[in-house]
Structure 1
Amino acid sequence: MAHEHGNEHQHDQGNDHGHDHGHERGPVADASVRVARASDAPAVGFVQAVVFREAYAAALAPEVLATFEPRAFANAWRATLEGEQSRDGVLLVACAGEQVVGFAAVGASDDADADTGTAELIVLGVHPDARRQGHGSRLLHAVVDTARARGRSELGAWLLASDEDTRAFLTAAGMVADGAHRERVVTPDGGTAGELRLSAVLADPEAAGSAEDAPTDRTGQVGADDGDPGSA
Structure 2
Amino acid sequence: MPTADVSARPAVPGDEDAIADIQLAAWRGFLGDAAVDAVPRDEVLATWGAAIQSPPSREHKVFVATDGPHVVGFAAMASGGEIVALEVAPEHRRAGHGSRLLAACVDTLRIQGGTTLRAWALEGDDAREAFLTGAGLGEGGVRRGMDGPDGELAERMFRAELAQ
- Tell me whether the two structures share a fold, i.e. TM-score over 0.5: yes
In the alignment, is the contact (CA less than 8 A) between 1:105 and 1:122 conserved in 2? Answer: yes
**Residue identity matched to 2:47:** A
CA distance in 2, matches of 1:83, 1:106: 14
Task: List structure 1 runs of 4+ shifted beyond 3 angstroms.
Answer: 68-71
The unaligned stretches of length 5 or more in structure 2 are none
The residue aligned with 2:161 is: 201
Structure 1 residues 175 and 91: alpha-carbon distance in aligned structure 2, compared to 1, 3 A threshold:
same
Structure 1 residues 47 and 69: alpha-carbon distance in aligned structure 2, compared to 1, 3 A threshold:
farther
The residue aligned with 2:135 is: 173
Q: Indicate whether 1:63 and 2:23 are aligned.
A: no
1:163 to 125, 132, 146: 125
CA distance in 2, matches of 1:87, 1:107: 9
**Mapping of 1:17-32 within 5 angstroms?**
30-32=5-7
The residue aligned with 2:74 is: 103
Q: Indicate whether 1:92 and 2:54 are aligned.
A: no
The unaligned stretches of length 5 or more in structure 1 are 1-28, 110-118, 205-232
In the alignment, is the contact (CA less than 8 A) between 1:102 and 1:136 conserved in 2? Answer: yes
CA distance in 2, matches of 1:40, 1:67: 23
Of the two, which has the highest radius of gyration? 1
Aligned residues: 161
CA distance in 2, matches of 1:92, 1:82: 12
Normalized per residue, the structure richer in helix is 2
The residue aligned with 2:101 is: 139
Q: Secondary structure at the match of 2:15?
A: helix
Question: Following TM superposition, by how much is the alpha carbon of 1:186 offset from its aligned partner in structure 2, in angstroms?
Answer: 2.6
Question: Following TM superposition, by how much is the alpha carbon of 1:69 offset from its aligned partner in structure 2, in angstroms?
Answer: 5.0
Question: Following TM superposition, by how much is the alpha carbon of 1:162 offset from its aligned partner in structure 2, in angstroms?
Answer: 1.3
Question: Following TM superposition, by how much is the alpha carbon of 1:85 offset from its aligned partner in structure 2, in angstroms?
Answer: 3.5
Q: Secondary structure at the match of 2:143?
A: strand
Q: Indicate whether 1:120 and 2:91 are aligned.
A: no
The residue aligned with 2:152 is: 192
CA distance in 1, matches of 2:117, 2:142: 14
**Residue identity matched to 2:145:** E
The residue aligned with 2:19 is: 44
Q: Secondary structure at the match of 2:95?
A: coil
CA distance in 2, matches of 1:179, 1:193: 17
Structure 1 residues 68 and 203: alpha-carbon distance in aligned structure 2, compared to 1, 3 A threshold:
farther
Normalized per residue, the structure richer in strand is 2
TM-score (norm 1): 0.65
The residue aligned with 1:7 is: none
Q: Indicate whether 1:72 and 2:43 are aligned.
A: yes
**Residue identity matched to 2:23:** Q
Higher RCO (Cα < 8 Å, 6 or more apart): 1
Question: Following TM superposition, by how much is the alpha carbon of 1:70 offset from its aligned partner in structure 2, in angstroms?
Answer: 4.0
CA distance in 2, matches of 1:132, 1:159: 17
In the alignment, is the contact (CA less than 8 A) between 1:46 and 1:71 conserved in 2? Answer: no
CA distance in 1, matches of 2:8, 2:90: 17
